Amino acid sequence: MALIRDVQLACARLAPHGWASLLLQHGLDITAADLQQELTKPLSVDRSLKGFEDFSPAGWRGIEAGRPAQSLLYHAFASPNVLSAADASPLTAFPSALEIEQVLNFVYGINPPSLETLRAYAGAAPLAIVVFAYEYRPRPETVHKAQADLCFSRTGVARVGTAPALYDPARRGFLPFVEADAQQMRVIPARYGAYIAMQKAGDSDSFGPMSFQSPTDAGLNFWVPIHKLFGGGECLQGLDLSVQLQNYQINEKIGQVHRMHKNTGWQEPDILNYPFVITEGLCDWADPEGFGMGLLVPEAKERLVEKAYYQGQLLSFIMPPGTGGLVHGRSSVRDDGEIEDLNNVEGVDALVKAGGYRALHYQDAMADGWVLASCPELAACGLDKDSIAAYSIIGAPDFFPLCGQRELKAWSSDPDVFPCSTPPCPEVWHTRVNPLSDVRFQINPTLEGNYFADDDITATAIVSMAFEPSAPDPVWNDSEIALAQRQSCLPDFASGVFGPGWEVGRGTVDKPFANVLNGYMLASPFTEDARICAALGSFWPGVAPDSTRTFEPRGLASSVIPLTDAEIGLTDAPSWDGLKGPVLVDLEGRQVVQYQAYEYSDYTLAALDGKLSLAVTGHITTEQYHERVLAMHRAYRAVGAVEKPGKRLWSVLSFTFVQQPDEALDAAQLEAGHSLEGQVMYLCLYQHGAIRTPAGEFKRRHVDIESRVHMYVSQGALLVKQDDTPWCLQDESL
């Protein structure tokens, strides 16, 4: 019995580190001689213990056959909130990724069903081998928000980086940080697995999908996992299975440039080759002996962006006109082969827009593709449909890895899903906030293998296993359940489709017309997308850095989620984008604000130089993200800028979190006659006047100050000082 042996070894390793006494609180002895019998006996689960508050109310055994969310041992191993021993002291060791997978396999293999049993369970629904990306989540992040649960999607999102992946056992997941180097970032893997699944119309009361879209989802078909597949004779009765996963990834963004634009100097057959099309060196499977089967890991690159070479030579092309900023064209290649940085030429925007010169291509390691499972033993049993692939995305770095797009949408559209202590979200977004999991588009039909049908538009949805009709109604205590503090690989942590996007792009097909998700419609390289998105006040997507205050007022957007002075390079810490924010300078007896002009910013060359960093933004939690949005909104209201045109007259000069005690804050509170409680933020906004380019310094902008307003903001109150007036308490009731 290989499965129980693996579980025994894991329990024996963890028992002396607080796990034995912790699980004994529920009546489960993981040191029992007959562990399998111990795991199947009834328990008295104590859901008042930290980390077990959201364990399924239907769960009352260590292992419930075929029901991971009802298996206490699996919950304890997989939940990122199980961190404390029985005496509330920290546990001193945690399950490895491999051990969690081994327990999950044991849940499905302790009493393996027959294929006939699964057919009977599915009824008339078709069955197939289906690949899902999946993770076990705390209650607030699940499909039904009723209990901690496994969440599944036929789309997984891994992320590029410059350092190898590192598993954090306590968090039960991965984070991108490199402790010793703020300007390195780790790749983020995605977990995939093969399941026997049934195809059913959307059902909000059963499997979902998450954020059920009525009536659309009720008329769509979704694949719903029933039983996990793994190799050996313990998975399905009467069968000795061999299960294999294969993956295919492709980056064809450079090739797409030459398909979309004429007279670039390149055409077929050249653009069918590397690096116009990249299919190697993008990712690989992690060692199953260390992580279990199905962990897809992007290959760490020396740089997020690299110069492109073709046939041993730097790859240059004739820059097409009017690319809309989606192709990097700021490295001009002279006739003698020397590379000229056009950011050092006045009027670079006009040059790039006009095109017609030879430019250098840069490549990144983003891609899209598929993960497909094969099992010859099941293929011989004649399932209803061929093996169904998962859509695999290798996306851009996430500069807010702890904040999900779904959480932002929920806060902005459904305040009831958040604690009543969280103020409602103001209407500040420039476009509709949408996670990729809510998108219902066809998957890239040009991918090799043709594994996604034209009518398959539900691959990005997130589903649960079907709820049992006999499951009792949840009964919970009122304690809040912490969100997982790790990077998710599921598509609710990815952006929806904007113009063009962050992790994935949107194209169309004509016959019949349909929207299509793909990787080739993204900017080349991804840093061109990042530059546009961030400078538009976090326009695309919602959860992205907002660099609006870094650049001179441009009349296009206002700050939504302000970055702090440290995050934009105004302290000794490296900024997120390698740039320095605005500073005050004296000019002819008056102060002006000095900026590095947006026109001469270049995130592609910053990435090439290793200057992009998520160390300064990556630790921001969802709650802190909300705090910034609310503070910025209240600051605009305090200066009378309620509508978007009014907001664009004001710019953020300074934004910090006040570290108390603080003499300036103390003086402001004394003058205003009001003390602020809790976290306090300082903002300085100014109403801008004329914008000038200093003589001989075309990369800079000087902006006149018409009026300046200082503010201290807490959750309960706001103190204001305009120009030379005294500090006062702002009346926010209007």
pLDDT of residue 418: 55
Residue type, 117: T
pLDDT of residue 480: 83
User: E strands of 70-214, at which residues?
Assistant: 127-137, 149-153, 155-159, 167-168, 173-174, 190-201
Of the candidates 686, 728, 716, 722, the residue with the CA atom closest to the CA atom of residue 704 = 686
Reply yes or no on whether the pLDDT at 442 is more than 80. Answer: yes
SS3 at position 13: helix
pLDDT digit string, tens, across residues 3-38: 999 999 999 999 999 999 999 999 999 999 999 999
Question: Could you give phi then psi for residue 392, rounded to 5 degrees?
Answer: -110, 120
Assess contact for 542 and 433: CB atoms under 8 A.
Answer: yes
Q: Is 290 exposed, middle or buried (0-12, 13-18, 19+ CB in 10 A)?
A: exposed
Instruction: Give every CB contact of residue 421 below 8 A, 6+ residues apart in sequence.
Output: none
Q: How confident is the model at residue 511 (pLDDT cuts 50, 70, 90)?
A: low
pLDDT of residue 728: 97
Residue type, 522: L
Long-range contact list for 417-425, CB < 8 A, 24+ apart?
A: 417/140, 417/145, 419/480, 422/623, 422/626, 423/626, 423/630, 423/715, 425/626, 425/629, 425/630
The predicted model scores a pTM of 0.95
pLDDT of residue 475: 47
pLDDT of residue 467: 65
Mean pLDDT computed over 324-330: 94
Of the candidates 59, 56, 73, 65, the residue with the CA atom closest to the CA atom of residue 8 = 73
Beta bridge partners of 462: 153
Give the largest Cα separation in the chain, rounded.
88
Reply yes or no on whether the pLDDT at 324 is more than 70. Answer: yes
β-pair type (155-159, 390-395): parallel
pLDDT of residue 627: 92
Reply yes or no on whether the pLDDT at 476 is more than 60. Answer: no
pLDDT digit string, tens, across residues 540-582: 556 889 999 999 999 888 899 999 999 999 998 889 999 999 9
Reply yes or no on whether the pLDDT at 414 is more than 70. Answer: no
Mean pLDDT computed over 288-314: 97
Q: How confident is the model at residue 422 (pLDDT cuts 50, 70, 90)?
A: low
pLDDT of residue 517: 93
Of the candidates 515, 368, 365, 336, the residue with the CA atom closest to the CA atom of residue 440 = 515
Three-state helix/strand/coil letters over 539-594: CCCCCCCCCHHHCCCCCCCCCCCCCCCCCCCCCCCCCCCCCCCCEEEEECCEEEEE
pLDDT digit string, tens, across residues 635-691: 999 999 988 889 999 999 999 999 999 999 999 999 999 999 999 999 999 999 999
Quote the CA–CA distance of 67 and 44 in Å, as a whole number: 18
pLDDT digit string, tens, across residues 596-643: 999 999 999 999 999 999 998 999 998 999 999 999 999 999 999 988
pLDDT of residue 541: 57
pLDDT digit string, tens, across residues 212-268: 999 999 999 999 999 999 999 999 999 999 999 999 999 999 999 999 999 999 999
Of the candidates 695, 714, 694, the residue with the CA atom closest to the CA atom of residue 704 = 694
pLDDT digit string, tens, across residues 185-227: 999 999 999 999 999 999 999 999 999 999 999 999 999 999 9
pLDDT digit string, tens, across residues 690-702: 999 999 999 999 9
